[in-house]
Chains A and B, each alone.
Chain A
Amino acid sequence: MSLTNLAKLEAESIHIFREVVAECENPVLLYSIGKDSAVLLHLAMKAFHPSKLPFPVLHVDTTWKFKEMIEFRDRMAAELNLKLIVHTNKEGVEQDIGPFSHGSAKYTDIMKTQALKQALDKYKFDAAFGGARRDEEKSRSKERVFSFRNGSHRWDPKNQRPEMWSIYNGRINKGESIRVFPLSNWTEADIWQYIYQEGIPIVPLYFAQERPVVERDGMLIMVDDDRMPLESGEKPELKRVRFRTLGCYPLTGAIESEADSLPDIIQETILAKTSERQGRVIDQDSTASMEKKKLEGYF
């Protein structure tokens, strides 16, 4: 009997996790609290069972995440007995860098990309697991499972190492690192089906519920705390919304939806007419914005 699509994807991801742990000295799992991270973490637990997770979990906290995300993060860390590292760019906080005051591009660079690089350098991680999928975005569709980064964390998309079969090359010199993407071949629909099949806990923000939102530049932004400056005429409205993707609340658009259960979400996802990353302000700055960010060391 041949394996189903999900069974094959699961086995491939587990193989990738084990390969990294066997070959790299100091790996880390980048945990962004979203649905992909939830699946990533679940697969990691499976890969090493009955051993504990043989690496720490790193959350780069921009201080602008949804409150429910942080609660969920701490709950998961306690339940799964994770070694959780939370890193925030202190200089960024001291300079009060925020998405409203500094614009999404600058804010993302300082509080996400720079913060991530700081954390990777600080703990000298030689491999970092990320939950990126190739179906998400054009430049990601080109990326290897083992994605080599030089000493400055830069990606060289024109000169990637060939990647044959499931033989991954994780060899690096001092200071270099590998970003590893066990979910490379998963699609958004696969993720939701797997969450449903496995009963994986996810942040409640993914389910439709009445939430206070304002419409800004064609996106529904949730007013998660009082740091959000309302423009004249803007008044938070209670709407039944959910999120297809989660990031920093000022940069993440909600969609109006009635889907408050996983089967509903799966159905909505399969019938969806827009891609999930459309809800991300940071991807829309320019055509090649993700490629540019990735070159600079973003995931």
Chain B
Amino acid sequence: MDDVVAPMELEQFIETQENKSLLRFITCGSVDDGKSTLIGRLLYDSQQIYDDQLASLEIDSKKVGTQGSEIDFALLVDGLSAEREQGITIDVAYRYFSTEGRKYIVADTPGHEQYTRNMATGASTADLAVILIDARKGVLTQTRRHSYIVSLLGVKNIILAINKMDLVAYSEEVFKSIEADYRSFADRIGLSDFCAIPISALAGDNIFDAGDNTAWYQGPTLMQQLETVEVTADEAAAAFRFPVQWVNRPNLDFRGFSGTVTSGQIKPGDAIAVLPSGVTSKVKNISTYDGDLDQASAGQAVTLVLHDEIDISRGDVLAAANDRPEVTDQFMAHLLWMADEPMLPSRPYMLKTANKSVSATVTALKHKIDVNTLAHDAGSSLELNELGVCNLFLGEPIAFDAFADNKQMGSFILIDGLTNNTIAMGMIDFGLRRADNIHWQPININKSARARIKDQSPAVLWFTGLSGSGKSTIADIVEQRLYARRNHTIILDGDNVRHGLNKDLGFTDTDRVENIRRIAETSKLMVDAGLMVLVSFISPFRAERRLARELMEEGEFVEIFINASLEVCADRDPKGLYEKAKKGEIKNFTGIDSPYENPEQAEIIIDSANLTPDKAADQIMLYLEENGYLSELDYQI
């Protein structure tokens, strides 16, 4: 070969190659802002396009290109047939090029709102973002959306590439006005430190070389900025964190914990704490295939061996003993919803952190964020591509740091338990158990939250009917059945209400109404507590039963009419009350000298003259099951 270099030079050459740094960046912005063209241009100008690729690019450009007989650089980076046909980018494409000092991984992300999740995928691993703007169009909704996501993901290095300057006659005025417009938005989302560059991806201005068309611009070209930008290693300076991925136990003599140091550094002898347990130990050695290390720092994948035999498994985090992460099962986080199915509070999801999967529910959507105006909107669910701030409740505690302090310790994804799809990404703001956050709790814990930890649907089972119809007997059996299924219940009846709360009330019509009103209000409080309340009162008047019904939410009030004729009841007369009433010894006795108004809309009617109490209870349980009051899973106790 003609261009063989001398052996010494070759060694140096290889050493340079080996010691390159790595910069990962994304290009984002609205559709047709020229992202793909820009990357094609970068690859072309950095001579990363091979002859055979160039040959097929030239053919494709003529066939499906948008630049007439010129090369359509965008075709280089749109990988899928479907994308090439539609002329749009669906998914993020990764491209690679390198210069003397750096290797670059470029994520070319889709501009359509529909594919925001794919844009976020690319942004999540980026050190830097190039936000493109079409100089003719200025700042668009997608520019703001992508900028917001970039800022949310903690990407600190921003290049604002104002593209297609060739189409606005390289006007400084246009450039300045877009830069100012963008700044007013960027300032509000914490991206004020950005570098604006006027470029033409198509013509090549200010990509590698400045060119002659923007003499008014004195700043760096895009490549100069990429080459010199400092990729700040915040992780190295932060406290030591090591999520345990895998327990490495080849034999009885070796027990190590494999994982990647996500932040800080560690040396043999350093004191560590295991979270969530809080047990402490010291590092004995740092084992790798290439021998033990004196030190490991952020980014390195190693295996740690500890001095003490302690119980550690995947999902635990090893951390600096004197600077530990928090442990919580409740936190507030920003969520980007990425599934077609909307996010619903209370629905169970799987949450995965760096190394742990736990069950999780969103307990409250505090607000949605309008990426265009940054307004906080109220809402009860998040739709595809919507952003919101939520409280989450986990099945078990995890160790975490706020995302702002430590990206890898503060990030998570949500997975749908049925389809296994990744449906959301989340960034933890703070835990909700800390004393200084205690004020969140009264707002967050509501009826459904209370009911959820009891795993049941709160309701009032309102037993009405004549004295002696069998209300209390049947209610007792129903409560026993519910209890056996581990439902949390309470019975309100004459025994525990008339003797306490309502002992000041007699049996006049006024007192009967007040009696029922108090019972209804008490039932409502208990339903708010998440309980299943069995009320067993004659409650003879329709109006008061309606009052009780209207206090509850739709579906929470189940009226059960224990129907037996006066004759049957008087015949049973278990307490001898009918006898006394007939003799006039008891006044205002329902059925005798006070009316009983039959229910008109009872959910359940029990023919108590012909059913045993057990059969009556069967009928009620069946109704509860069929109408979703009982979770099916718990039936076998």
- Residues on A lying within 8 angstroms of B by beta carbon are 1-11, 14-15, 18-19, 21-22, 45-52, 134-135, 138-142, 144, 157-158, 160-167, 169, 171-173, 184-185, 187, 189-190, 193, 196-197, 258-259, 263-264, 266-268, 270-275, 278, 287-288, 291
Which one, B13-21, B179-187, B219-227, B370-378, is touching chain A? Answer: B13-21
The complex places the Cα of A211 from the Cα of B289 at a distance, in Å, of 37
**CB pair A51 B299 closer than 8 Å:** no
Q: Interface readout for B408-421 with A: 1 if CB under 8 Å, 0 if not?
A: 10011101000011
**CB pair A165 B408 closer than 8 Å:** yes
**CB pair B245 A275 closer than 8 Å:** no
Residues of B within 8 A of A167 (CB): 352-354, 411-413
The complex places the Cα of A19 from the Cα of B352 at a distance, in Å, of 12
**CB pair B17 A160 closer than 8 Å:** no
Partner of A291, one of B18, B80, B355: B80
**CB pair A5 B259 closer than 8 Å:** no
Closest to A138 in B: B79
What total count of A-B pairs have CB within 8 Å? 201
Partner of A165, one of B1, B78, B82, B411: B411
Closest to A186 in B: B96
**CB pair B420 A169 closer than 8 Å:** yes
Residues of B within 8 A of A189 (CB): 17, 98
The complex places the Cα of A273 from the Cα of B81 at a distance, in Å, of 25
Min distance, Cβ A106 to any Cβ of chain B, angstroms: 21
Residues of B within 8 A of A15 (CB): 245, 260, 301
The complex places the Cα of A171 from the Cα of B416 at a distance, in Å, of 10
**CB pair A266 B14 closer than 8 Å:** yes
Min distance, Cβ A109 to any Cβ of chain B, angstroms: 18
Min distance, Cβ A98 to any Cβ of chain B, angstroms: 27
The complex places the Cα of A239 from the Cα of B96 at a distance, in Å, of 33
**CB pair B50 A272 closer than 8 Å:** yes
The complex places the Cα of A144 from the Cα of B421 at a distance, in Å, of 14
**CB pair B422 A163 closer than 8 Å:** yes
Partner of B52, one of A2, A278, A287: A278
Chain A CB within 8 A of B580 CB: no
**CB pair A164 B18 closer than 8 Å:** no
Chain B positions 35-87 with a Cβ under 8 Å from a chain A Cβ: 50-53, 56, 60, 77-82
**CB pair A263 B10 closer than 8 Å:** yes
The complex places the Cα of A139 from the Cα of B78 at a distance, in Å, of 9
* A-B interface, 8 closest residue pairs, ranked by CB to CB distance from nearest: A138-B79, A14-B301, A46-B289, A49-B289, A51-B250, A171-B420, A275-B50, A5-B22
**CB pair B301 A47 closer than 8 Å:** yes
Residues of A within 8 A of B231 (CB): 2
Which one, B118-126, B195-203, B499-507, B511-519, is touching chain A? Answer: B118-126
**CB pair B120 A5 closer than 8 Å:** no
Chain B positions 252-293 with a Cβ under 8 Å from a chain A Cβ: 254, 256, 258-260, 287-290
Min distance, Cβ B45 to any Cβ of chain A, angstroms: 16
The complex places the Cα of A48 from the Cα of B93 at a distance, in Å, of 30
The complex places the Cα of A264 from the Cα of B53 at a distance, in Å, of 24
The complex places the Cα of A163 from the Cα of B96 at a distance, in Å, of 19
Q: Interface readout for B6-28 with A: 1 if CB under 8 Å, 0 if not?
A: 01001101100111111000000
Chain A CB within 8 A of B554 CB: no
The complex places the Cα of A167 from the Cα of B91 at a distance, in Å, of 18
**With contacts A163-B121, A172-B420, A291-B81 known, is A141 near B94, CB below 8 A?**
yes
**CB pair B52 A158 closer than 8 Å:** no
**CB pair B350 A22 closer than 8 Å:** no
